[in-house]
Structure 1
Amino acid sequence: MIRYYQVGAEGGEAFETSESAVVPILQWLEFGVFAGILVGFVYAIVEFIFEKFQLNKLATGLVLLEKSLIYLLMLILSTNYIVGLIEQQIDRNLPNEQGWWKENKVFWLVVGYFIVCSLIFSFLKIAKEKFGKGVLFNQLIGKYKKPREEERIFMFLDLKGSTTIAEQLGHYKYSELIQECFYDLNRVITNYSAEIYQYVGDEAVISWTFKKGIKNNNCVELFFKFQDRLLKKQKAYLKHFGLQPKFKAGLHGGKLIVTEVGTLKKEIAFHGDVINTSARIQGECNKYNESLLISEELLDKLNLQKFKIRSIGNIPLKGKEEEVRLFSINKE
């Protein structure tokens, strides 16, 4: 479309007056779709490679510079290929000599278009990483301007023996350990429809809508998948930190209030007994030497036939008048 409508281009006005111009414009659209798929595919490959090899851990400015150079090279190669196809199709001489793109206005117009689109996509990606999936959209439509009641599942995930590990490693090395663990958590979390609510020190608070949390036992499967990933990287953890990190977690679900709070640093906040109970349940893991504890109320909603379930009993939790029946979950 940009090539067809460019100012001063041959045939640019024909589209408005000639019916025969329908065929050429369809050809341009065909090439536009082809070009979009080609560029989009390469764009996705670049993003995948940066994610796969953890290159996004580099400084943001350096990552943007590297990606920009790759995208520019990609545009030069792809436009050279596409221009050749167009030239054959419409039987018209187009600029294709070596270095033609350096002074070609259409090429740099395409580059400008690509930069604008990249900035938009980058903004959406950063917003998703910063606020979590769906949070930006909910803030834009004002979904939580007024408190709303929702049914959700919460998991409080905490590093075992964190105090001892911090003393052993020192605060800098310990911070690197937590960073690496949470990076591994992020690699698996999207596969189980989960959302990160907060990071608090060495603790991560994970949330699901009730429907997504119980579907395929997502709220339980995530914990063991995270454990498997840590074990898979055991050699790397032992080499860099001299230990194998292990986590404990508490699971509970129910109704609570969701609302938007703050003006300078807005966030979606959850208020209710569900969060407090989930945190207290996780706090009982050390006492009973278990890695994953769950309330009976949530356990009844799940189908955990392939797991080993053991009753802990009715446990008094701090801040709650009634005792809560807890169960441990382990792999068979």
Structure 2
Amino acid sequence: MQRRTRQQLRISLLIVAIAAGLGAVFGLAIAGAGDGDGETRAYARAALRGVWTGGLIAGLLTAWEYIYVNRPAGLWVRRLTFLGNVGVRSLIYLAAIMLSIWSGATVFSIEGADPFGWNAQTVIQVGFSVLFSIGVNFAMAINGLLGQAVFLNFLTGRYHRPVVENRVLLFADLVGSTAIAERIGDLGFHGFLNDVYRDLSAPVIELGGVIHKYVGDEMIVSWPDTAAGRSRALQCGIEFHALLAAAEARYKNTHGAAPALRIGIHAGPVVIGEMGDVRQEIVFLGDAMNTASRLVDMCRTLGRPLLVSEALRDAEPSEDGPALEPMGETGVRGKTRPVAVYAPAP
């Protein structure tokens, strides 16, 4: 089972457990608001109905997101406009919620309770479901616009005051972007670059990275600076090249050009904080960012598609992955000390 699948399964089970617990509390509250007929038995069945309904809602919706929307079949959903995305997802959420409410009322019927149908209890549940589905999907759409976890970081104020964090940084720059744009046109290049970013997102998510931002034709990805983070960053860079090489024919048929990357990976302390007033974003600053960017420039000089700094020299992409070979020390513009550079063995 792939790491991404295991992670999604753990998250799904956690969400189902939380939803089932909240459903039990909701069921007990509904039973307590009734006339008390049946007492213990009614409360027990109400709790079971809540567990069933909440767990089924969470199971259906996590399956929709992970098995469909985030897979190739759900590409049409991801390509919708902001409001279209919120609208489609909200309708799916509402349908799943209503199906789960009907199922709970059918499987765990309670004597004296209102049946599923047009009544006060159902109206309350439907109203809550509509508000819940729209709110969750609006937050998910905002998170998609801002980037992974950025929306949550803004809400919690994690970087309202700048902090220093040790991060592994991967800079991936598209080779020959100016020539490609001139050949296929600006609109065609936008579609080409969008497909590249979409393809590269898969290994980033699989390997636990976070896409910090896109800067023109450059993608910046980061991981916490741990042994695992360094190995995953190196593995991600290698997988980027393998993925685009495997998709070369598809890109040529679709866009008339095949993408290639220059990649630099470095690790070190980064200042992270909110920046701006009228328009805010979370920015990364520091020498580590500059060094990672310079490694991309060195790829052209040294003729290698992927270079890492000395901070990554002990990282291994996998048991059967290529070893890192030294490329010597190179002066980096803006730094007084040279940087030891390494590259995966060809």
In which range does the TM-score fall when normalised by the shorter chain?
Answer: 0.7 to 0.9
Which of 121, 124, 131 does residue 116 from structure 1 map onto? 131
Which of 156, 163, 170 does residue 148 from structure 1 map onto? 163
Moved more, 186-195 or 224-233: 224-233
**Cα deviations across residues 106-142 of structure 1 (Å, max 9, x unaligned)?**
2232222122222332244234334444444444443
In structure 2, the residue matched to 1:231 is 245
Mapped partners of 1:10, 1:201: distance in 2: 58
Residue 50 (str. 1) matches residue 69 (str. 2): yes
Q: RMSD between aligned alpha carbons? A: 2.8
8 Å contact from structure 2 (residues 57, 100) kept in 1: yes
Report the CA distance between 1:253 and its aligned residue: 1.3
Report the identity percentage.
Answer: 25
**Cα deviations across residues 5-42 of structure 1 (Å, max 9, x unaligned)?**
66xx9981428xxxx62331221111111011112222
SS in 2 for 1:319: coil
Letter in 1 for 2:304: E
SS in 2 for 1:322: coil
Letter in 2 for 1:299: L
TM-score normalised according to structure 2 size? 0.81
8 Å contact from structure 1 (residues 3, 106) kept in 2: no
Letter in 2 for 1:171: D
Which of 252, 258, 270 does residue 272 from structure 2 map onto? 258
In structure 2, the residue matched to 1:12 is 34
8 Å contact from structure 2 (residues 203, 240) kept in 1: yes
Letter in 2 for 1:286: R
Report the CA distance between 1:289 and its aligned residue: 1.9
8 Å contact from structure 2 (residues 97, 129) kept in 1: no
Letter in 2 for 1:200: V
SS in 2 for 1:119: helix
Letter in 2 for 1:225: E
Residue 282 (str. 1) matches residue 321 (str. 2): no
Mapped partners of 1:129, 1:93: distance in 2: 41
The 3 A distance-change label for structure 1 pair 62 and 141 is: closer
Residue 60 (str. 1) matches residue 60 (str. 2): no
Mapped partners of 2:111, 2:36: distance in 1: 17
Residue 168 (str. 1) matches residue 183 (str. 2): yes
Mapped partners of 1:329, 1:61: distance in 2: 44
Letter in 2 for 1:82: G
**Cα deviations across residues 215-255 of structure 1 (Å, max 9, x unaligned)?**
5x111111122233333433431221123211111111112
8 Å contact from structure 2 (residues 168, 225) kept in 1: yes
The 3 A distance-change label for structure 1 pair 182 and 11 is: closer
The 3 A distance-change label for structure 1 pair 224 and 85 is: same
- Unaligned stretches of 5+ residues in structure 2: 1-24
8 Å contact from structure 2 (residues 93, 133) kept in 1: no
**Cα deviations across residues 145-203 of structure 1 (Å, max 9, x unaligned)?**
33322211211101111121111111111111111111112222122221122211110
Bigger Rg, structure 1 or 2:
1
8 Å contact from structure 2 (residues 27, 49) kept in 1: no
The 3 A distance-change label for structure 1 pair 256 and 85 is: closer
Mapped partners of 2:91, 2:193: distance in 1: 32
In structure 2, the residue matched to 1:35 is 53
In structure 2, the residue matched to 1:248 is 262
TM-score normalised according to structure 1 size? 0.84
Moved more, 57-66 or 32-41: 57-66
- Unaligned stretches of 5+ residues in structure 1: none
In structure 2, the residue matched to 1:25 is 43
Letter in 2 for 1:164: A
